[in-house]
Amino acid sequence: MKVHFVRTSVFPQGLAPSEERRVLQVIELCGRTAYKSEDRITEDSARSFVLMLKNHGHLSVLEHSNIALKIQEDSSGGSAPGIPSVQEFYESLRKIIRERAAYHRTCTTYDEGNLAFTIAANLRGWIETLEYLKQEATRYYEFLGHHLGRTFPALFQQGADLPDDFHYNVSIVPEEAQLELLRKDPRSDLPVFLFKFICDRGITHEIVRHRVLSFTQESTRYVNYRNKGMTLILPEELESCYDESKGTFITENPQVLEWRRRGEVIFEWYQSDIARGLRPEIARDVLPNLLKSEIFVSGRWSGWRHFISLRDSKQAHPRIRLIAREVRQYFESLGLPTT
Ligand X SMILES: Cc1cc2nc3c(=O)[nH]c(=O)nc-3n(C[C@H](O)[C@H](O)[C@H](O)COP(=O)(O)OP(=O)(O)OC[C@H]3O[C@@H](n4cnc5c(N)ncnc54)[C@H](O)[C@@H]3O)c2cc1C
Long-range contacts of 260-264 (CB under 8 A, 24+ apart): 260/3, 263/3, 263/230, 263/232, 263/288, 264/2, 264/3
Of 186 and 229, the one with the shorter C-beta distance to ligand X is 186
How deeply is 87 buried, as exposed, middle or buried, from its count of CB atoms within 10 A (0-12, 13-18, 19+)?
middle
Of 25 and 122, the one with the shorter C-beta distance to ligand X is 122
Please, are residues 211 and 303 in contact by the beta-carbon 8 Å criterion? no
Instruction: Please identify which of the residues 260, 311, 319, 328 carries the catalytic annotation.
Output: 311
Beta carbon of residue 57, minimum distance to ligand X (angstroms, whole number): 21
Footprint of ligand X (CB under 6 A): 209-212, 303, 306, 310-311, 315-316
Beta carbon of residue 309, minimum distance to ligand X (angstroms, whole number): 9
Q: Name the helix (H) or strand (E) containing 230.
A: strand 230-233
Beta carbon of residue 318, minimum distance to ligand X (angstroms, whole number): 12
Distance separating alpha carbons of residues 140 and 184, to the nearest angstrom? 30
Check if 311 is active-site: yes
Q: Where are the beta strands (DSSP E) in 149-191?
A: 168-172
Cβ count within 10 A of residue 163: 14
Beta carbon of residue 310, minimum distance to ligand X (angstroms, whole number): 4
Residues with active-site annotation: 311
